[in-house]
Amino acid sequence: MGEFELIRRYFLPLAGQQKSRSLILGPGDDCAIQRIPAGRDLVFSMDTLVEGVHFPENYRPDHLGWRALAVAASDLAAMGADPECFTLALTIPVADEQWLSGFAEGLRRASDAFGLALAGGDTTSGPLTLTLQVHGTVEEGAAIRRTGAQPGDLVAVSGTLGDAGAALDYLSELNPSPDVAGLLDRYHRPCPRLDLGRAARSFASAAIDVSDGLLADLGHILDASGVGARLDSTRVPVSACLFRLKGDAAVTYALRSGDDYELCLTFPEESWRRAPEALRCQLSVIGRIESEPGLYLDGIDCSSGATPSGFDHFRRKS
């Protein structure tokens, strides 16, 4: 099977231009064309996943297809953007048909679930690596940035945290218990909070997706906004599965491990009060923004180098 046959067979079926209002030419030509309506901003981001670094070797291809797009789409969620389309640069060692059909199936399911049409890409041979660029749009000026947190704002997170990070302890489990299966599902099939991000657009002052760990990612908001925060660890949401498996250590996973792709948002108190109940009930308030820099957890400063948090490629894992 040649390169073009491979693209035609596995990737063109994902083009589905109808998924995106702005994509007017999908894969097949030299470029794709996206027409951004007047008064809207294009919001775009790129993510690379390298085998052995971002996902385990011999990782199930359908899980990889889903995960790759979910992780990329999570950045759109964090900006409150409406998803439109994506491109895929795929480097594979060999054109294994079974692998490709599994991968394309996972990717297709994610593409349908998130409303992101495949606009084009590039296919090459080499060590397994994926780069996805996702495109979204928002009304001019409406994207939620990391820079908007103000002293007095509430800090909130969506869903529960720590499950996906804890799942790494169980990836090779052959007969997982129901609790372990629950964690593994969070790792294999993350769900970017696209609807929540969009709903929060006119209420939140800042947002980030939790990919590297809550403390690390909230730290990025604090740095960008030039503020600090105080958090109450008892209010950090953990799932019942994680609590049963890890006991008191569950909170540490929730604070420090990544891969959950939940959102961390800040809200001026008055915006929080007028936000719809449907938005607020998806979030847990875990603390408050302060003018004094630093990230305090139960009164203890955890922003210094003494307690490293999160994942950094060039520092290795904490």
Q: In whole angstroms, what is the distance from residue 73 CA to residue 197 CA?
A: 11
The smaller minimum CB distance to ligand ADP, of residues 120 and 190, is found at 120
Q: In whole angstroms, what is the distance from residue 119 CA to residue 12 CA?
A: 9
Nearest to 86 by CA among 110, 59, 62: 110
Residue 311 contacts which entry, ligand ADP, Mg ion, none (Cβ below 5-8 A, type-dependent): none
Q: If DSSP codes are grouped into helix, strand and coil, which group holds residue 34?
A: strand
Q: Give residues 87-106 in contact with ligand ADP (rule: CB under 6 A).
A: 88, 90
191 binds ligand ADP (CB under 6 A): no
CB 132 within 8 A of CB 69: yes
297 binds ligand ADP (CB under 6 A): no
Residue 88 contacts which entry, Mg ion, ligand ADP, none (Cβ below 5-8 A, type-dependent): ligand ADP
Taking the complex as a whole, the smallest distance from the CB of residue 12 to Mg ion amounts, in Å, to 15
Residues engaged in binding Mg ion (CB under 5 A):
122
The smaller minimum CB distance to Mg ion, of residues 96 and 122, is found at 122
Residue 248 contacts which entry, ligand ADP, Mg ion, none (Cβ below 5-8 A, type-dependent): none
Taking the complex as a whole, the smallest distance from the CB of residue 31 to ligand ADP amounts, in Å, to 7
Interface stretch with ligand ADP, choices 38-46, 47-55, 118-126, 287-295 (CB under 6 A): 118-126
Query: Under 8 Å CB-to-CB from 11, ≥6 apart: which residues?
Result: 27, 88, 104, 118, 121, 123
Q: In whole angstroms, what is the distance from residue 292 CA to residue 11 CA?
A: 50
The smaller minimum CB distance to ligand ADP, of residues 10 and 253, is found at 10
The token pair at 304 is 């210094």
Q: How far is C-alpha 38 from the geometric centre of its chain's CA atoms?
A: 28
Taking the complex as a whole, the smallest distance from the CB of residue 114 to Mg ion amounts, in Å, to 25
The smaller minimum CB distance to Mg ion, of residues 122 and 292, is found at 122
CB 287 within 8 A of CB 227: no
7 binds ligand ADP (CB under 6 A): yes
Binding mask 23-42 for ligand ADP (x = CB under 6 A): ----xxxx------------
Q: In whole angstroms, what is the distance from residue 298 CA to residue 311 CA?
A: 22
The token pair at 86 is 């994506």
Q: If DSSP codes are grouped into helix, strand and coil, which group holds residue 90?
A: strand
Taking the complex as a whole, the smallest distance from the CB of residue 122 to Mg ion amounts, in Å, to 4
